Amino acid sequence: MKKYVLLSALFAVPGVYAQSRLDVAFAWNISHRCSPVSPEIRLKDIPSGTTTLRIKMTDLDQKDDDHGGGEISQSEPFGNSFTIASGALKAYKGPCPENFTTLGHEYQFTVTALGAEDKPLAVGSAKAAFSAKFVILQGLLKSP
């Protein structure tokens, strides 16, 4: 009986299970330091009916520092996967931590897939540290 009440309470709340999860991936380069050019962001599992992608970057170590982002819209819905080109986010301010040569900061991109009438269909995020040591190590790990 208790399980039934809990399940019916969850499904009675509108939108509890209305959103899916987007797969979001990106990588930093040294050139992104203090740059207005956003990195390439790769998305998968975009739900059908998505016509707008809303992107926001957050400094997880200094949350009051607004790094902006942007929106990308299409008249036709997006496919299952999409790559946001480097520099596509016009309201973006790159990472510029004062401690770049030591620990740096951790940054997160959050992407919301929107459908008709700006209805959220899915949300996803990815985060990565941005410091000289991390960016150099990341490049070495990816080299053949």
The pLDDT value given to residue 19: 59
The pLDDT value given to residue 14: 41
What pTM does this model have?
Answer: 0.78
The pLDDT value given to residue 104: 80
**Exposed, middle or buried by CB within 10 Å (0-12, 13-18, 19+), for 16?**
exposed
Comparing C-alpha atoms, which of 128, 140, 134 is closest to residue 40? 128
pLDDT per position in the chain (144 positions), as tens?
Answer: 444 444 434 343 344 335 579 999 999 888 898 999 999 999 999 999 999 999 999 999 888 888 999 999 999 999 999 999 999 999 999 998 877 666 788 999 999 999 989 999 999 999 998 887 766 666 554 544
**Exposed, middle or buried by CB within 10 Å (0-12, 13-18, 19+), for 32?**
buried
The pLDDT value given to residue 142: 55
The pLDDT value given to residue 137: 66
Domain ranges across the chain: 18-142
**CATH fold of 18-142:** Phosphatidylethanolamine-binding Protein (3.90.280)
